[in-house]
Amino acid sequence: MASPEPPREGTVARNIGVGCITAVAGFFSGGMIAVFVGKFVGSVQGCKPPEGLPACNWWVYAGIGAAIGAFTLPVLALRRLNQTRP
């Protein structure tokens, strides 16, 4: 016997809320992880970052990582949230 479907009106608002919150969280977490990766890449390349900066070209790594994180975290969260339960 199949489980009853939740009302459609409640899931749309829930999905929008979850998507917005996880997009912001993914933006910042993806950027921080990418700068961490950039620090390793810079050390392997022998790049010496300027005083006070975490890595060489950190803004490139942060921008790409933030864009990836802002897309992937909401997609993963919404896929998991909207899975049908057995």
* pLDDT value at 21 more than 70: yes
Q: Highest-confidence range of 8-12, 41-45, 80-84, by mean pLDDT?
A: 41-45
* pLDDT value at 7 more than 70: no
Would you state the structure tokens that stand for residue 11, as one six-digit string? 């899931």
Percent of the chain scoring above 70 in pLDDT: 88
**Predicted pLDDT of residue 9:** 65
Please name the residues in contact with 24: beta carbons below 8 A apart, sequence gap of 6 or more: 70
Please name the residues in contact with 35: beta carbons below 8 A apart, sequence gap of 6 or more: 54, 55, 58, 61, 62, 65
